[in-house]
Copies of this chain bind each other. A is one copy, B any other.
Amino acid sequence: MNLTKIIESVPNISEARREDVLNRILRSIEGIPDTRILDVKPDFDHNRTVISLAGSAEGLKAQLLKLYESCVTEIDLREHKGEHPRAGAVDVAPLIPIKNVTMDECILLAKELGMEVAARFQIPVYLYEFAASTEARRDLAIVRKGEFEGFAEKIRKPEWKPDYGPDQIHPSFGVAVIGARMPLIAFNVNLGTSDIQIANKISKAIRNSSGGLRFVKAMGVMLQDRNIVQVSMNLTDYKKTPVFRAVEMVRREAARYGVNVVGTELIGLIPAEAIYETADYYLQMENFSPSQIFENKLMEA
C-alpha cells in the first residue's frame, strides 16, 4: 500500500443488530487495493456501526462505493430502529485529510463520490462541513434533522434540494450525507482538584463557543473514581488550534485557581503531525523536518 498520501473515512452505517448482514457488508469492502479497514465499532442500542477506513483517494472512493452498494442491498431503513439519529442506510461518510493531503482534495473526493452515489443508486446526496454547498449545510446535525422518516417531506423544500441525485428519497436507503472535515482529536486534561466549578470555568474560558480558541470544544467532567475533575476537549482543527496550545491555555487558566494539571489523556487516534508539532514547539526547534525521523526516512527509502 502506498502510504505517501492518506485519507481517512469514518462511514456510519445504520446496522449493528443483524450480525450476518453486518458481516456481509464488511466482507464486501475488504481487500480493495490501497485501502485498509482500521476499526469497526458496532453499537447495538444505536443499531449503528462506525467503520474507520484509510487509503488513497482512488482506493477509498472504490471502497466507499462498494459500501453504498452493499448497504442499498442489505439495509431497509423502513424497518430500522435505533437511538441514534440517521437519514440514510450509510448515514454519513466524512473524508478526512491525514497525511500529505489537502482539505481541497478531500472536498473534491466528497463531490466525486457524491456524484457517483447519486448516479449509480439514485440516492439523493447532501454535502456537509468543508464540502457543503451553502453555509446552512455545514452542520451535520442540521442537515440530518428530520431523519429518514421526515426526509420525504424535507427534500421537497427548495432550500433542501439535494446537491446531487433525485429530488425524492430512495425508498429503502433514504439519503446520503457526504462531507470533508479535519481529524478530530479528543484530548482530556486532568486537574489536581475535585472542584467541578474550576473545570467548568476553564472549559468556558478555552472553548470557541464562549470566546476561547477557535477549534476547541470543551466541558468540565467529574472523574468520580479519582475524585478529580477534567477538562474534556475536542480539537476540531489541530492545524489551526494545535494540541499544545490548548493544553498550555488550560495550564494557564488552572494556575489562576492555584490548580495544576496532573495528567492528560488522548482518546482514540491522533495524526503523527500533531505529535511532531508538539515536540517541535516545546523543544523550540528551528528547522525540524519529519523526514529527520528515522522511521520516516526509512519509509521514503
Which residues of chain A have a CB within 8 Å of any CB of chain B?
3, 6, 8, 36-38, 54, 98-99, 183, 190, 243-244, 247, 261-266, 268-272, 275-276, 278-279, 282-288, 292-299, 301
Contact = CB atoms under 8 A, between A and B. Distances in A.
B283 A278 contact: yes
Contacts of A292: 266, 268-270
Which 5 pairs, one residue from A and one from B, show the smallest C-beta to C-beta distance? A278-B279, A282-B282, A263-B286, A36-B301, A272-B295
B264 A286 contact: yes
Contacts of A98: 294-295
Given A272-B293, A272-B294, A282-B282, 14 more contacts: A8-B294, A99-B294, A183-B294, A247-B283, A263-B286, A264-B285, A265-B285, A266-B285, A266-B288, A268-B292, A269-B293, A269-B294, A270-B294, A279-B282
Contacts of A8: 294
Contacts of A275: 275-276, 279, 293
Given A272-B296, A294-B8, A296-B272, A301 B38 contact: yes
Nearest to A8: B294
B266 A298 contact: no
Contacts of A261: 284
A248 to B, nearest CB: 9
A3 B263 contact: no
Contacts of A294: 6, 8, 54, 98-99, 183, 269-272
A183 B261 CA distance: 33
B283 A244 contact: yes
A294 B297 CA distance: 18
A226 B195 CA distance: 49
Nearest to A301: B36
A266 B288 CA distance: 7
A122 to B, nearest CB: 33
5 contacts: A244-B283, A263-B285, A263-B286, A264-B284, A265-B287
A268 B287 CA distance: 11
Nearest to A52: B297
Residue among A263, A269, A299 with max Cβ neighbours from chain B (10 Å): A269
A293 B270 contact: yes
B37 A286 contact: no
A95 B60 CA distance: 40
Nearest to A99: B295
